[in-house]
Amino acid sequence: MPSPLRKESPTGSQQPDMTVARGGRLPETVDEAMQGLNQSVEVDSALWRVDILGSKVHARGLARAGVLTEAEANTLVRGLEQIEAEIESGQFVWDPQREDVHMNIEARLTEIVGPVGGKLHTARSRNDQVATDLRLYTRSAVDDVIRALVDLERTILSRAVSEIDTLMPSYTHLQRAQPSRLSHHLMAWHEMLSRDYNRLVSARDGLNESPLGAGAVAGSGYPLDRAWVAKELGFERPMRNSIDATGSRDFLMEVVSALAILGVHLSRISEEIVIWSTTEFGFLTLSDAFSTSSSMMPQKKNPDVAELIRGKAARLIGHLTALLVLEKSLAFGYGRELQEDKEPIFHAMRDTMLSLRALTGALATCTFRRDRLEGALEQGHVCATDLADYLVMSGVPFREAHHIVGGLVREAETEGVQLSELSVDVLAQAHPSLMRPEAREALDARAAVERRKLVGGPAKACVLKEAEEAERRWVVALSASSWRRI
């Protein structure tokens, strides 16, 4: 059966019959493959809301410049509002033969208001129009991501405060290292994510300029008030160069770079959730809402939420790579390959929001196994450094103290005991200072944690102060009229 998009020639071969919005320079029909390549409405229709917003402000700006009458501008705005309602209600039909979101909306506008609809595009190109849409969309989406990130941060803060008395080992090389506390570990997650917050705020500030009025590439000869338009759209200022305004997408690269780094950090936290929820560690139990069972093994409780977030991090890195490669060979001025800039930013925002919300829910509802966390301090000689420090305070050079305690660890492993379980005689043979009762105190994990009371340390007072200061910063950030770095 012949394709409905083609017609039969007299010889029986199929010929293209594709009517598209091509303008006066080109014929009205193109090949089906070109039509498929050319149209983007399936993707960029997601920009409809900001596209209509930009068009409303542009119409009013044309009236301010004397290019349209107030009556014409009002007619256009009313027509755009009708289209907005149609899309909201699902009545609007997107036509791929009209290529993109802009032409679909403009065509429908002309159907509603008549020939005056053709005046809306005066002093505007799809080049500055789409650049404006993308900045409006990205700014709003970044705001949503920042809010979700703050929710995650405050959830971590809440868990840190509630677990302030839970001790655990700290790790290097995934080996037990020194005594610490769970709250200190959670605050490490918080600090890392705070840098992500600052990166997103900086990226948002950098993109908040208006391309509208830059035209196709060389601006406009109409007396537009670009500063007024920028202010009406919530931008800080109009962009300073029309070529750069229409043909650069580094603002997308910067935002998605911040999202990719955030994704890596969420993946690191998720990796620890996977490890901590194993039977071997048993530090954490996820709620059933954020776990799944095996289709074959009925005893399994899998940490799928964490594994899926690790997978999303890979996608975020891919979205960033796509944007970087997309622009690397672009000459100055708009190029049609920029049509491909939307899927990476749309998917990056979606993947980030899903990851943030899921991880927030998982951490809010998980159970930290205090018995297993603190029990892990009983193996691995985690107070060895504290014993070496005790020798140093007794006048022994650190390198010698390190050597002495290393020998004691070897002896403990030979005997199959922990460092704290070695006899007084063994300790005395290593160094006379170890005969004192204070030497045994050096091997107490809770006392060891409290000795580390410098700024950034795991002592209870330090962690509580860090959490209180962090909460104050979030209160200030959330009460401000716009996002600010913390």
The 10s digit of each residue's pLDDT in 52-75 is 999 999 999 999 999 999 999 999
Q: Which residue spans of the chain are classified as CATH 1.20.200.10?
A: 133-163+182-202+240-376
Question: What pLDDT does 4 receive?
Answer: 32
Task: Write down the architecture of domain 133-163+182-202+240-376 according to CATH.
Answer: Up-down Bundle (1.20)
Question: What pLDDT does 191 receive?
Answer: 97
Quick one: residue 99, left, alpha or beta (phi over 0 = left, psi -120 to 50 = alpha)? left
Mean pLDDT across the stretch 447-458?
A: 95
Out of 3.40.605.10, 1.10.40.30, 1.10.510.10, 3.40.50.1100, select the CATH number for domain 384-443.
1.10.40.30
Q: Which residue spans of the chain are classified as CATH 1.10.275.10?
A: 42-119
Q: Which residue spans of the chain are classified as CATH 1.10.40.30?
A: 384-443
Q: What are phi and psi of 169, to 5 degrees?
A: -75, 150
Question: What pLDDT does 226 receive?
Answer: 98
- Cα–Cα distance for residue pair 6/408, rounded to 1 Å: 85
On whether the 42-119 domain is CATH 3.30.70.100, my answer is: no
Q: Is 294 considered catalytic here?
A: yes
Q: Is 277 considered catalytic here?
A: no
Please identify which of the residues 287, 294, 423, 482 carries the catalytic annotation: 294
Residue 144 has pLDDT above 90, yes or no: yes
Mean pLDDT across the stretch 377-384?
A: 94
Question: What pLDDT does 24 receive?
Answer: 63
Question: What pLDDT does 458 receive?
Answer: 97
Residue with tokens 């940490």: 303
Percent of the chain, pLDDT > 70? 93
Residue 12 has pLDDT above 50, yes or no: no
Q: Are 356 and 145 in contact (CB under 8 A)?
A: yes
pLDDT tier at 1, thresholds 50, 70, 90: very low
What angle is formed at CA 93 by the lines to CA 88 and CA 98, rounded to 5 degrees? 120
Q: Are 19 and 5 in contact (CB under 8 A)?
A: no
Please identify which of the residues 9, 13, 89, 173 carries the catalytic annotation: 173
> What digits encode the pLDDT tens for the residues 176-215?
999 999 999 999 999 999 999 999 999 999 999 999 999 9
